[in-house]
Amino acid sequence: MFTFRPLPWEYGIRNLLRRPLRTGLTLLALTTVTLLVMVVMGFVRGLDRSLAVSGDPQTAIVFSLGMGENLEYSSVPMRTADLLASSITGVRERYGQKYASPELYLGTLVRATEDAPEEMGLVRGLTPSALLVHGDVEITRGDWPRVNEVLIGRMAATKLGLSDDQVRPGRQLLFEGRTWTISGTFAAAGSTYESEIWCRLDDLQQAMKRQDLSLVALTLGPGAEFQDVDLFCKERLDLELQAIRQTDYFATLQKDYAPIRWLSWLVVALVSGAGVFIGLNTMYGAVVGRIPELATLQTIGFSRRAAILSVMQEGTVLAMTSALLASIIGYGLIHRAAVRFTMGAFELQIDSGTLLIAYGIALFLGIVGSLPPSVRMFRLSVVDGLKAV
């Protein structure tokens, strides 16, 4: 009866250490491939997360009819906020203060000094009631802006291409013909608001010589229906308003950025595909050079299947070690790295999904990468294997 006798487990481990240069180069190649996959996956996951965490299903955005999702082109009368708050039942209220935030939103050129290059920034003029409506916003340093002051989002420096020192409280920014002093910074749970510059509504209106608004954000209380806000906008035809849930608005943005997301996934596929071929080639070269050794193992009584299993064991150990190194490097250097984007800025996310895909590709390289040279070894006789160079 045939008994399968595998090579000892420690033989494969010792064999890796016996050729440190080849093992090191193979490990470097596999680590690089896995790390590239993590970087591109981190971009996709970071973009998705910044849009997914933005918005509250209980918050409605009211803006000009026919503007689509282009809030910066919207224009509604200044009295709209008070009109909505007093006419719609169910608007959330706290200590007599309605959760209604009149806002002026635009993209404008911003610079740190007179001679510094200009960058496109996102500016939002609001009142303190914005902190009620945007409940995930937290001032992390400094205070709410006073006259001619601005509050800087956590990712605004990345969006503007500035250093953290240039946006610390007390420094200045120039936009819309004025010099603004930074009063503090804020975070918003990773949402797109973190890429914005916030200032007082009346200051921005004066700087732009406008008396209108871009939008009004309303937060509805428990039991209130969005249809009440939508019905009000449809009935008051003279105001030419439309309403959309805040979550639906960001879902629309996700659809607009769908081509970019698909392009990112294509890059993931291309990088992964190139990585697979690089990894296969590396593993092939590492194994083909050992055909005489593997043929020798057959001459002393080990089967071809035992030799192939040992090769796959070595490949898997190398691949998973490379994945571990890539995850350490990725989480230490890439996770939460800031990336500029048209909509603002966001952080790369090396999360569990990214790690799972990267480890899966590494495992694939380790196992499948050992098969082509193993097939060649199967086709050679022991004599030819001993003479192979």
Residues 129-181 pLDDT 10s: 999 999 889 999 999 999 999 999 999 998 898 888 899 999 999 999 999 99
Residue scoring higher pLDDT (205 or 380): 205
Q: Look at the block and give the residue holding tokens 């020192």.
A: 165
pLDDT tens-digit profile of 112-134?
988 888 899 999 999 999 999 99
- pLDDT band at residue 2 using 50, 70 and 90 as cut-offs: very low
3-state secondary structure at position 303: coil
Mean pLDDT, residues 328-348 taken together: 81
pLDDT for 1 equals 43
Weakest-pLDDT range from 95-99, 106-110, 225-229, 279-283: 279-283
Residue scoring higher pLDDT (336 or 79): 79
DSSP characters over 93-129: EETTEESEEEEEEEEEEEBSSTTSPPEEEEEEEE-TT
- pLDDT band at residue 214 using 50, 70 and 90 as cut-offs: very high
Beta bridge partners of 338: 347
Beta bridge partners of 64: 241
Mean pLDDT, residues 7-16 taken together: 75
φ/ψ of 103, rounded to 5, equals -140, 145
Residue type at 232 in one-letter notation: F
pLDDT for 275 equals 63
Question: CA-CA distances (angstroms) from residue 176 to 75, 102, 301?
Answer: 18, 20, 83
Residue scoring higher pLDDT (281 or 214): 214
3-state secondary structure at position 91: strand
| Residue 129 burial by Cβ neighbours in a 10 Å radius (0-12, 13-18, 19+) | buried
Q: Measuring CA to CA, which residue among 271, 137, 125 is closest to residue 197?
A: 125
Q: Is the pLDDT of residue 361 over 90?
A: no
- Percentage of residues of the chain with pLDDT beyond 70: 87
Which two tokens mark 286? Answer: 């590492």
pLDDT tens-digit profile of 283-333?
666 666 667 777 777 777 777 777 778 778 888 888 899 999 999 998 888
* Rounded Cα distance, 387 and 381, in Å: 10
- pLDDT band at residue 376 using 50, 70 and 90 as cut-offs: low
pLDDT tens-digit profile of 240-261?
999 999 988 888 877 777 777 7
Question: CA-CA distances (angstroms) from residue 118 to 150, 248, 346, 360?
Answer: 17, 32, 20, 44
Q: Is the pLDDT of residue 387 over 70?
A: no
